[in-house]
Amino acid sequence: MDRRKLDHDDLADDVPAFLLGALDAGTCDAVSKHLDDCPTCKEEGRRINEAIGALGVLAPSAKPPADLRGRFLSSLQSEEPPDIETETIRAVTPLWIRLGLIIAVILVVIISWIVLLSR
Amino acid sequence: MIASPCSESTLSNLSDQDLIERVIARDHEAMAALYDRYSRAVYSLALHVVHEQRAAEDVVQDAFLTFWQRPQSYIPERGAFGPWILRVARNRAIDLLRRGSREHIKDDDRGYTFEQQIVDPEPEPSDLIWNRTVAARVREALTELTGPQRQVIELAYFRGMTQSQIAAYLDTPLGTIKTRVRTALSRLARIMAEEEIWTDAS
């Protein structure tokens, strides 16, 4: 790769190929960073991405296997983020520990107080 | 809870954005409705890239499951959901293609081309209306490009070739290929933005 510093136009020229995944390794990181930093290229990138997505409908139509939907929907069950029950257990456990500690501290204070008074 | 067939009919009237908001609220039925709306297009694209049923199924599962796990990765301000999920799927399919053997790509009989699609736009009867509409508009947009421009986009898009691979494949200088890719995609993007090619599937 050319080692001179890439200017805006060089990077902007590579944006379409980068988004298409057709850019050869070398300038990919620089283009990616430029897309984050340059509002003009970001907007152009947004439009190019829309076009790239829309091109996908040109693939010859094929029917997915009948059981694919069912498999996907069952996988939702196992890919559930932590549910309310788990959250509740997590929230409750420290509360019990905290309550236990508070009671223990109070007991220690009372016993010490009684011991001190009885001297 | 797994979505029941009855719920689909009511949810299928909702816009993509309404369904996405429900998915963010962990609504399985909304996820099923989005899946029903786009899975055929996603599967067709994946199969055309990877040429293998099992791999195409994996791409479909990955694309939708990724969205389910992180629905916030789709940012509505950046464009419609349809092109986004197709892009996610295509990226995954191209990754699989590049990781696997390229033998079958070399053996590709090049039977399917954009050229064919432009002159032979016969839709499958089972295709959803929105898919047919968008496909017809995309074909129309492609006619605005030159033949060589369509060819480079096709090689990159469906076969996952990089610009230097395309240059070698077509025995054409790399600079010429780069210009074609850049001009073709910028032009397509402009036409598609002006014509508002993508319609919400609802």
- pLDDT tens, B43-81? 999 999 999 999 999 999 999 999 999 999 999 988 899
Q: Give the residue carrying structure tokens 């997915």.
A: A64
Residue of B80, B156, B190 with shortest CB distance to A20: B156
Element of type H or E holding A46: helix A39-55
Contact list in B for residue A57 (CB cut-off 8 A) is 41, 45, 86, 131, 134-135, 138
pLDDT tens digits, one per residue of B177-188: 999 999 999 999
pTM: 0.77
pLDDT score, position B125? 57
Q: What is the pLDDT, as a whole number, of residue A72?
A: 95
pLDDT of residue B136: 87
The beta strand positions in B159-200, using DSSP E, are none
User: Quick one: pLDDT band at residue B100, thresholds 50, 70, 90?
Assistant: confident
Residues 6+ away with beta carbon under 8 Å from B167: B173, B174, B176, B177
Q: Do B3 and A73 touch (CB under 8 A)?
A: yes
Q: Average the pLDDT over each of A33-42, A103-112, B1-10, B94-103 and give the range with the smallest value.
A: B1-10
pLDDT at B106 over 50: no
* Token pair 């610009």 in the structure block, residue: B163
Predicted confidence (pLDDT) at residue B126 exceeds the cutoff of 60:
no
- Which percentage of chain B shows pLDDT scores above 90? 65
Do the Cβ atoms of A48 and B41 come within 8 Å?
Answer: no
Residues of B in contact with A79 (CB under 8 A): 65, 68-69
Taking an 8 Å cut-off on Cβ atoms, the answer to whether A61 and B78 are in contact is: no
CB contact under 8 A, B60 and A72: yes
Interface residue ranges in chain A relative to chain B, Cβ cutoff 8 Å: 13-14, 16-17, 19-24, 44, 46-65, 68-69, 71-77, 79-81
pLDDT for the residue numbered B187: 95
Q: Chain B, 45-104: which have a CB under 8 Å from a chain A CB?
A: 45, 47-49, 53, 56-57, 60-61, 64-65, 68-69, 78-80, 82-87, 89-91, 94
Distances (CA, A) of B135 to B87, B110, B121, B197: 15, 20, 8, 9
In chain A, which residues have their Cβ closer than 8 Å to the Cβ of B138? 54-55, 57-58
Q: Are B60 and A67 in contact (CB under 8 A)?
A: no
| Whether the predicted pLDDT of B24 surpasses 60 | yes
**Strand (E) positions, B4-94?**
none
Q: Which two tokens stand for residue B8?
A: 């689909």
User: Can you give the pLDDT at residue B201?
Assistant: 55
For chain A, residues with pLDDT lower than 70 are 1-5, 79-95
Please report the pLDDT score of residue B199 as a whole number: 62
User: Model confidence over B133-166: pLDDT tens digits?
Assistant: 888 889 999 999 999 999 999 999 999 999 999 9
pLDDT for the residue numbered A78: 74
Question: How many alpha carbons fall within 13 Å on the CB side of residue B159?
Answer: 25
Q: Which of B63, B23, B29 is nearest to B46 (CA)?
A: B63
ipTM > 0.85? Answer: no
Instruction: For residue A53, give the nearest of B31, B84, B135 by CB distance.
Output: B84
Q: Tell if the CB–CB gap between B185 and A79 is shorter than 8 Å.
A: no
Of B32, B80, B160, the CB nearest to A73: B32
Determine, for residues A44 and B189 on separate chains, whether the beta-carbon distance falls below 8 Å: yes
Phi/psi region, residue B163 (left: phi>0; alpha: psi -120 to 50; beta: rest), is: alpha
Instruction: List phi, psi (to 5°) of B108.
Output: -50, 130
Given B89, B91, B163, which is nearest A22 (Cβ)?
A: B163
Structural tokens at position A39: 């509002």
- In this prediction, residue B193 carries a pLDDT of 87
Q: What backbone torsions phi and psi does residue A103 show, to the nearest 5 degrees?
A: -60, -40
Q: Do A20 and B181 touch (CB under 8 A)?
A: yes
pLDDT of residue A71: 95
Buried b (16+ CB within 10 A) or exposed e, B74-110: beeeebbbbbbbbbbbbebbbbbbeeeeeeebeeeee
